[in-house]
Structures are given as structure tokens and as C-alpha cells.
Structure 1
């Protein structure tokens, strides 16, 4: 459950970061949309039976990692924030997936 809570906090950060750090409009909008989706999937993933939905955050993290170049961000902070948040989400999703696999074996 702590993995989903950390993922939710990263999602909340993505929602707020654009306004707090004054990113460009497209970087702010992208952060809000992706952050909201990460929060949504993490909240749904808190339940034991729906924990697999956390894997959808992988695809969001991949988009978050590539989006600065696809959307042509002009702000270095927005690029760094996207890459760091994407890396953290991928790490947390990997931990979640590993725990699911080990729980099935055990």
C-alpha cells in the first residue's frame, strides 16, 4: 500500500508543480493530466484485488519521460521534473510488480 501512496504523492506533485514553478502552459497541462491519471490509478490500486491497475502507471511514466521532447518543453526545470518523476514511478511500479510476483509464488 505504501507504493501506491508514494505514487499518489508524485501524482499530486505533478499536478501542482507547473503552477508552483511556473512552467510553460503545455508542460503545466501535461503534468496536470498525467498527475491526475497517476493519482487515479494509484487510488484504485490500493485495493488488493485491483493492485494490477498500478501497472498502467508504467505507460504514463514512459509518456512522462518522452513528453519533454515530444511537446518541445523550453523549461529545464520542467524537463528535469518530468524525468525524475517518471523514473520514480517506474521504480515504484517495478517494486509493486515484484511484490505481486513474489506473493503468487509464496
Structure 2
């Protein structure tokens, strides 16, 4: 059975992801691209998912949450070219930058968790 770490011990990346998720969710209004449907819907869905995963990670840390965040970050990076962002240049650059940050934060948290497991492993 997995041991849940106390609420006090959490990675700072989860809190940063929460803030970035809010930025992504609000980006259509902050950057005025609500008239472009694809980037607006994408921002709302991806931002909402990142917020939900971040809250879940803060409450109960699991590695799969970080892998899903990496997938969402990569999607956010690629979405301006896979969806039609031609009417929203601000959305393109912000989603690529925010997607890169989400991906890097999740990867760094996975790396830290691996380092913690190595330190906790008994010597051979």
C-alpha cells in the first residue's frame, strides 16, 4: 500500500502548475482572443484539467498526475499548429510558452521524486 506524505510536504511545482493552469484558463480574456473559438475552447479545457490535476497532486501525490501534465503541456505546445490559431497570434505564443513551462515543471517534479526514492532506498 502506498504511503501518502503529509500535507505539509509538497513539491513547489504543484503550486506553480496551479497558477499556470489559472493563467491558461483565463488567457482568452487576458489576451483578448475570445473571438477565436479553437484557442478559447482549448485554453478553457486544458487550463481546467491542469488546475484539477494540480489540486489532486497537492492533496495526494502520484506520479501519473505528472505524466498527464506532461502530455497536456506537449498538447498545449503543439495545439497552435494542430488547431487553427491563425486568428489569435497572442494565443499561439502564450500557449507554446505556458505549455513549455507546464512540461518542464512536471518533468522536474518527476526527477525530484526519483531522487527522493533513491535517497530512501536502503543500501545494498
Two-structure CA RMSD over aligned residues (Å) = 1.1
| Structure 1 residue corresponding to 2:107, chosen from 72, 91, 94 | 94
Q: Which structure has the bigger radius of gyration?
A: 2
Say how many residue pairs are matched: 105
Q: Deviations over 1:55-95 (max 9, x none)?
A: 21011011111111111201211100011001101110111
Structure 1 unmatched runs, 5+ = none
Cα distance in 1 for residues equivalent to 2:101 and 2:30: 20
The structural deviation recorded for 1:15 is: 0.7
- Structure 1 residue ranges, 4+ long, deviating more than 2 angstroms after superposition: none
The structural deviation recorded for 1:96 is: 0.3
* Equivalence map 1:42-57=2 (5 Å): 42-47=54-59, 49-52=60-63, 53-57=65-69
**TM-score calculated relative to the size of structure 1:** 0.92
Structure 2 unmatched runs, 5+ = 1-10, 120-124
**TM-score calculated relative to the size of structure 2:** 0.80
